[in-house]
A = this chain, B = another copy of it.
Amino acid sequence: MLSSVREHKVEGNALNELYKKRFNQVRKRSRELCSTLETEDFVIQPVIDVSPPKWHLGHTTWFFESFILKEFMEGYKEFHPSYNYLFNSYYESVGERWQRPNRGLLSRPTVKDVMDYREHVDHAMSDFFQSVEINQEIQKFFEIGLQHEQQHQELLVYDVKHILGINPMFPVFREREIDPEPYGELDSSFTEIGEGIYSIGYEGNDFCFDNEKGVHNVFLHPFRVQNRLITNGEYLEFIESGGYKDFRFWLSEAWTWVNEQEVKAPFHWHKIEGKWKYFTLSGLLDIQVDEPVTHINFFEADAYARWAGKRLLTEFEWEVACEKIEPEVSEKANFSDKNIFHPEASNRTQFLGDAWEWTNSAYLPYPYYKTDEGALGEYNGKFMINQMVLRGGSCATAKDHIRPTYRNFFHPHLKWHFTGIRIAESI
């Protein structure tokens, strides 16, 4: 591969300037996200889905080292011979790896070791921007590498919330002042979308993942979609009217899950002396009834919708509705500025940036879907089974990582991320 790359002074090359700037921004945000963590917080893996924060920091670094520095920078010296083994997540094509369930069993490399690793790679990248001209092939890896680190930033927020939230001492990650009167009147209106053939998938010139490609038509029958997410207050009604105890609202596997796990509320909710509270990244607080409910899984979103006499959207309906109603991230969605990682009030028509909205679509390939060659081909396609699509982006998503065509996906029982409910009905 190296033969196709010219190594020399490349100052002034626009792509080099562009990626240097974005690279530094993205990498800096990862560091900043962790600034209030204790060393011990970086090590824990409470459940298999959660990774230790230091693993996220190492893995995102490994991505740049493996796919850019080792491939395209002559003479690059890898930081440590064990790190390819330790920080590979799931790339079968990149060799053996430490298994995911055991990520929390490694005290070494230490947090400092991982920070040194980041520094080493960032430093090498700084040389790279000076010496290697970024061509189209390299650009692809850069783009994925940056998006990838943004995805892990978001996971890192969920994982930190999980790690702190199961601790009986409920530590505070970000201090927060709660606005005593943040919400106006709750708008419960719906928007109608008419029958027709609609185009689905990403069509612009910016980055998108391979799973958004394969632009194609779908035929939609008419439907009506609510202009905001379901609130904590509405979800409390579901709980208090016995929603978790009535099989009629639940899919069969969901009902088994509710009963075996004895589920009574969203994740991070705690009934303390008869009163519901929730753990937030600002500690244990009273539940704010007008905020969008989060930390519910697909089973709960689906059951809520059924209880309400409605249904969830398909991912196609969602994409069409989003494009029509709110195709850009709203100015009001100031999540990433406040940096407290908590969704805003929902009395408005916000599709993008509050919570990932569960759709009733399974994560499957678009008609013309084609996986990338090589390791990047393992990025999305191989997960297209047993998962449900979520759309919209959350308060923990990097702002420039949100778009209407973005297809997020999780198994239906998972609920440690910022998930939300939007209801709809056929007309």
Contacts and interface: CB of A to CB of B under 8 A. Distances in A.
A349 interface: no
Nearest to A38: B110
A197 B168 contact: no
- Interface of A, secondary structure class, is mixed
Interface in A371-396: 377, 382-386
Contacts of A166: 105
Contacts of A109: 169
Nearest to A195: B217
A216 B426 CA distance: 12
How many monomers of this protein are in the complex? Answer: 4
A408 interface: no
Contacts of A250: 382
B107 A43 contact: yes
Contact of A44 (B107, B298, B365, B382): B107
Contacts of A42: 40
A34 interface: no
Contacts of A385: 251-254, 298-299, 302, 412
Contacts of A68: none
Q: Identify which of A90, A107, A251 gathers the most chain B CB atoms within 10 Å of its CB.
A: A107
Interface stretch (A280-288, A324-332, A356-364): A356-364
A32 interface: no
A207 interface: no
Interface residues of A, number: 65
Contacts of A360: 364-365
Interface string A67-95: 00000000000000010011000101100
A3 interface: no
A209 interface: no
Given A252-B90, A383-B251, A364 B361 contact: yes
A248 B378 CA distance: 8
B247 A219 contact: no
Nearest to A197: B219
A234 interface: no
A44 B386 contact: no
A210 to B, nearest CB: 15
A135 B164 CA distance: 44
Contacts of A302: 385
A42 to B, nearest CB: 7
Contacts of A90: 252
A44 B383 contact: no
Nearest to A83: B169
A93 B106 CA distance: 35
Contacts of A168: 82, 85-86, 98
A46 B105 CA distance: 5
A359 B105 CA distance: 32
A377 B298 CA distance: 21
A252 B378 CA distance: 9
A171 B106 CA distance: 11
Interface string A344-364: 000000000000000011101
Contacts of A251: 382-385
B367 A108 contact: no
A58 to B, nearest CB: 13
A221 interface: yes
A367 B217 CA distance: 17
Interface in A229-269: 247-248, 250-255
Contacts of A412: 385-386
A111 interface: yes
Interface in A164-187: 164, 166-169, 171
Given A38-B108, A40-B54, A90-B252, 7 more contacts: A44-B105, A93-B248, A104-B104, A105-B166, A108-B169, A253-B385, A360-B364
The 9 residue pairs across chains A and B that have the minimum distance between CB atoms = A362-B362, A40-B107, A92-B247, A252-B382, A219-B219, A41-B107, A39-B39, A217-B219, A43-B43
6 contacts: A39-B110, A40-B40, A108-B164, A109-B169, A254-B385, A386-B386
